[in-house]
Amino acid sequence: MTRVGQLAALDQQVRQLESFGAVVNDDTYAQLRHWAPYRPAISAALILIGWPVLWVTLAAVLKGVGDRVSRRQATFAQVLAVVVHASSVLALRSMIATPINYARESIGGATSLSILMPAFGESTFPARLLGAVDIFVVWWAVLVAMGFAMLYETRTVSVVRWLLGAYTAGAVVLAITQALRGGV
């Protein structure tokens, strides 16, 4: 809501658009700037509506997978409870990232692996790949895997491999897409 925050949010939006190959001209920039004062309200609405929708969707997918691969059946409420409770680390991520983002005057990447390994140039593939991997999302995936493994009475390691494999594949695709488009 501060001027620094609004400028950081605007910078993040421009970088995201450019990373996917969009050209941000003066008109696009003006439009993004026009929406800057409304971003806190939009973000709050996305949190209040979007997160529950994501939790329910993910719980349904995980329940479907679990029911197919395991002899044990878990209820939807049990799977949803695992997903929601594991998501508490994402709230912790926000509490840690917010002051870091404010100090850097930039939004995003405060909890990614690229912060821990700044040796790579910003536009290199390794930097993009490390920037796509968030420490707290990895932690969240491990917590979901632990709960899922307990519900379906399977080994946690195999579930962790599956979830982190899917996450890593997504990060690699994102990094390759950004590298091929030459985005910042």
- Residue 102 placed within a domain: yes
Whether the per-residue pLDDT at 142 is higher than 50: the answer is yes
C-alpha 24: how far from its chain's center?
24
Looking at the chain, the whole-number percentage of residues with pLDDT higher than 70 is 89
- Has residue 137 been placed in a domain? yes
Give a yes or no: residue 41 inside a domain: no
Instruction: Say if 164 falls within a structural domain.
Output: yes
pLDDT at 135: 87
Q: Is residue 165 part of a domain?
A: yes
The answer to whether residue 30 is domain-embedded is no
Structure tokens that stand for 136 in this block: 């707290």
Which one is predicted more confidently, 89 or 33?
89
- Residue 35 is assigned to a structural domain of this protein: no
| pTM higher than 0.85 | no
Mean pLDDT taken over the chain: 84
Count of domains in the chain? 1
Residue 157: inside a domain, yes or no? yes
Query: Could you tell me the CA-to-CA distances from 155 to 45, 145, 158, 162 in Å, in that order?
Result: 37, 9, 6, 11
Identify the sign of the CA torsion 115, 127, 105, 112: negative
Alpha-helical runs (H) found in the chain: 3-19, 26-35, 39-45, 51-69, 76-86, 88-104, 113-116, 125-131, 135-152, 156-181
The predicted-structure confidence for 100-139, as pLDDT tens digits, reads as follows: 877 776 666 777 777 766 666 666 777 777 777 888 899 9
pLDDT at 9: 76
Segment 50-72, tens digit of pLDDT: 999 999 999 999 999 999 988 89
Range of the domain at 63: 49-181
Average pLDDT of the segment spanning 156-183: 82
> Which whole-number Å values give the CA distances from 132 to 18, 21, 41, 140, in the listed order?
16, 17, 26, 15
